[in-house]
Chains A and B, each alone.
Chain A
Amino acid sequence: MKKLTIFVVMVLLSITTYAQKNAVSKYFSQYQRDTSFTKVSVTNKMFSLFTEIETDDESEQEILAAMAKLKGVKALFTDDAKKANLLDRYYDAVSTIENDGSFEELMTVEDRRENVAFLIREDDGGVIRELLMILGGPDNFMVMSVFGEIDLASIGKISKALKIKGMEQFEKIAE
């Protein structure tokens, strides 16, 4: 009986984990074959390379330490407004992911030109495991997921120092 209980708990836990994974991955897989989207994926193997880099520069050391804790980045981007209204896509993405329940809203900046929503997923210990950025305006739409162990202050600094296209929005979190 004890074994059966453990088994049932394990199955339930795996289902919960699957559901959490599924919230964003479902969204990404939805647009996987859509040629109007640019798809970017960076694996944990890439981030593990940052542990190998040596530097005396303190700001770079901070960047490297933060990057070494990341496990991956996935991003979807489009500026093709012919297929669908990109602002509608933004609202649809935010509501789909919020309704899933595994993410909570961190910050939203909305104006006439561009809307940005930041959502996070934390583990039981309060460590941020996934940071999701959804950006939408009349001319562009982007969903970017950064996962691993995330330090919000460092993410802002990384984007500021490296000037990576699309990541400049993360600077808003650090402000």
Chain B
Amino acid sequence: MKECYWLLAIGYWLPSIANEGNKKPGARCKKLVSCHAFILFLLLVTLLLSGCTSASSGESEVMQELRKSDHIFENSELIQTSYFFYPSTMRMVNIDRMPNWDEAIKEVRRLSIFSMWPDRFDQAKQNEVVAELEAKENFALYAEMEDKYSDFKLLGRNNGTEAILIYNDSTVNYVVHLLGKLNYVKLMKLSGDLRDTENRGAGIDLLVKAMGQDEDRAIRQRHYYDRRKEIEAAEQLRKDSIEAALNKEPIITE
């Protein structure tokens, strides 16, 4: 946004130089200077505007591609449910008014949580996404964790103003996309506070409940896929046995 103010200032300043030049002797020479100034001004406009647009839509293209695969009203390919939180909605979640929560998210512009279909956003696809983020978009690994039941990878870029978390557990996968700065000290204090208390806060409870439904859907989907695989395997076996029977050389008995 600062670039836009600079742009306006330059826009006012350059024509005023040009007009100043026309009043003095040697106006032709000054006109030439003003012409150059105008071209320079146009160049600056183009450069700064392109800078402004890329800054406003400066989020990861890999993430945008991933989101394109989310056909909410059709059969979604990878994403099961998308949750978008903006500063106002993030403050709303904090019904119990935990001060560390508000401080942690103060500079966050948008937090998107994508609940993925585990069978489609599998380990291979996740590795592909991580490799693309690192190779094409300068994302670096901030932290990773792996245990028997779950794992996560946290990647970020531009001094942490954009971060992506890929989380898996035995039933569900999440991709969390954060735009803006998260205050990690406050976040760690918040997690310490939450650990000390039984009460997570009504807003967080609601969110966890909503995500629990995704987990149930993912479990149902996994059962559906497993059942479908079983049916397909049985069908294939039946076809193979029919084909084998048909191809079998007839036994000629005398």
Q: Are A161 and B146 in contact (CB under 8 A)?
A: no
A45-B142 in contact given A162-B192, A164-B192 (Cβ < 8 Å): yes
A40-B160 in contact given A53-B184, A162-B192, A163-B195 (Cβ < 8 Å): no
Least CB distance, A96 to chain B, in whole angstroms: 23
Given the complex, which residues of A lie within 8 Å of B142, measured CB to CB?
A: 42-43, 45-46, 49
Q: Are B192 and A53 in contact (CB under 8 A)?
A: no
Q: Are B147 and A46 in contact (CB under 8 A)?
A: no
**Which 9 pairs, one residue from A and one from B, show the smallest C-beta to C-beta distance?**
A163-B192, A38-B147, A46-B142, A49-B160, A162-B188, A42-B143, A45-B140, A40-B145, A39-B146
Q: Are A40 and B144 in contact (CB under 8 A)?
A: yes
Q: What separation, in Å, do the CA atoms of A43 and B154 have in the docked complex?
A: 10
Given the complex, which residues of B lie within 8 Å of A165, measured CB to CB?
A: 195
Least CB distance, B182 to chain A, in whole angstroms: 9
Given the complex, which residues of A lie within 8 Å of B143, measured CB to CB?
A: 40-43, 46
Using CB atoms, name the residue of chain A closest to B195.
Answer: A163
Tell whether B171 is near chain A: CB-to-CB under 8 Å.
no
Using CB atoms, name the residue of chain B closest to A34.
Answer: B148
- Residues 47-65 of A, flagged 1 when their CB comes within 8 A of B and 0 if not, give 0111011010000100110
Tell whether B95 is near chain A: CB-to-CB under 8 Å.
no
23 examples of A-B residue contacts, CB within 8 angstroms: A36-B148, A38-B145, A39-B147, A40-B143, A40-B145, A41-B144, A42-B143, A43-B140, A43-B142, A45-B142, A46-B142, A46-B184, A49-B159, A52-B160, A52-B181, A60-B185, A64-B185, A67-B185, A162-B185, A163-B193, A163-B195, A164-B192, A165-B195
Q: Are A162 and B148 in contact (CB under 8 A)?
A: no
Given the complex, which residues of B lie within 8 Å of A45, measured CB to CB?
A: 140-142, 156
Given the complex, which residues of B lie within 8 Å of A28, measured CB to CB?
A: none
Given the complex, which residues of A lie within 8 Å of B196, measured CB to CB?
A: 163
Main secondary structure of the interface of A (DSSP, over half): mixed
Least CB distance, B179 to chain A, in whole angstroms: 15
Main secondary structure of the interface of B (DSSP, over half): mixed
B: number of interface residues (CB 8 Å): 24
Given the complex, which residues of B lie within 8 Å of A41, measured CB to CB?
A: 143-145
Q: What separation, in Å, do the CA atoms of A55 and B188 have in the docked complex?
A: 15
Q: Are A164 and B188 in contact (CB under 8 A)?
A: yes
Using CB atoms, name the residue of chain A closest to B188.
Answer: A162
Q: Are A53 and B195 in contact (CB under 8 A)?
A: no
Q: What separation, in Å, do the CA atoms of A43 and B189 have in the docked complex?
A: 20
Given the complex, which residues of B lie within 8 Å of A163, measured CB to CB?
A: 188-189, 191-193, 195-196
Given the complex, which residues of B lie within 8 Å of A164, measured CB to CB?
A: 188, 192
Tell whether A35 is near chain B: CB-to-CB under 8 Å.
yes
Tell whether B126 is near chain A: CB-to-CB under 8 Å.
no
Q: Are A43 and B141 in contact (CB under 8 A)?
A: yes
Tell whether B112 is near chain A: CB-to-CB under 8 Å.
no
- Residues 152-170 of A, flagged 1 when their CB comes within 8 A of B and 0 if not, give 0000000001111100000
Q: Are A53 and B144 in contact (CB under 8 A)?
A: no
Least CB distance, A129 to chain B, in whole angstroms: 21
Tell whether B183 is near chain A: CB-to-CB under 8 Å.
yes
